[in-house]
Amino acid sequence: MINIAERHQFILKKINKEGHISVVDLCRELNVSTVTIRKDLKLLEDKNLLFKTHGGATLNNPYTADRPVNEKEKLQSVEKIKIGEAAAKLIQPNDSIIIGSGTSVLALAKSIQPIENLTVITSALNVAFELIKHNDIEIIQLGGIVRKSSSSVMGPYAENILGDFFCSKLFLGVDGIDLEFGLTTTNVFEARLNREMMAVSQKTIILADSTKFGKRGFGKICKLEEIDHIITDSGISKHIVDTLESMGILMTII
């Protein structure tokens, strides 16, 4: 049996390669108990070498905090523009779509070119403001409580209105994508609205830059199995891409 120093070296090498590791895999590969691996992960976390998660560990702090939209817009801005452009290519003539809130979907709104008979339902005030300059795009703005940090609405009024519609595609921004926990946002009421958007959409398409992977927000939106397509940038690890594709999720890497 290898000693503790050798186990730690193995764990750090694996997590640096894959970005995320599981207790079950480590137990099998190192032939030790779950108690031993959990102690190893705790020691490595105490040294600020990784972050423990449910069932494993990750290189990045998995817990994300709420930030104002004008601050988030400056982060990964080049990647978000490319993600938005790729998403815009999925919109077809006579489409009826939903656009959620966030800076990645705002980049989508900025990339949309006039398309014949396009209807857009959105909770985001800045998305509606961006699209209003196009005469041939019909915009349905959801109402409700304004969440200032995201320039969007949420709450029961917005949720109830959605019951009157059914759309071909939902373009959704998220604060976190975790292989075990699923998709999250920092606000539980926005998470609820996102779930209602999914319920009235044929396809759910996630727009998220690579820094969102391995993160968890306070409000859970859904499990990974419930989404159809993720558009992200090349900063995402191959391990995460392979895992998501094995779940039947279409991955577009820009």
CATH topology of domain 69-253: Rossmann fold (3.40.50)
For 4-58, the fitting CATH number among 3.30.70.20, 1.10.10.10, 3.40.47.10, 2.60.40.1080 is 1.10.10.10
Residue 214 exposure: Cα atoms within 13 Å on the Cβ side: 24
Provide the token pair at 136.
């041939």
Cβ within 8 Å of residue 29, ≥6 positions away: 10
Q: How far apart are CA 203 and CA 226, in angstroms?
A: 9
Q: DSSP string covering 128-154, please?
A: HHHHTT-TTEEEEE--SEEETTTTEEE
Structural domain boundaries in the chain = 4-58, 69-253
**What's the pTM value of the predicted model, to 2 decimals?**
0.75
- The arithmetic mean of pLDDT across residues 77-103, rounded, is 94
Phi (first) and psi of residue 116, to 5 degrees = -55, 125
Express each pLDDT in 147-180 by its tens digit: 887 889 999 999 999 999 999 999 999 999 998 8
* Radius of gyration for the chain, computed over Cα atoms and rounded to the nearest angstrom: 20
Please write the tens of the pLDDT for every residue from 186-216: 899 999 999 999 999 999 999 999 989 988 8
Residue 75's pLDDT is: 56
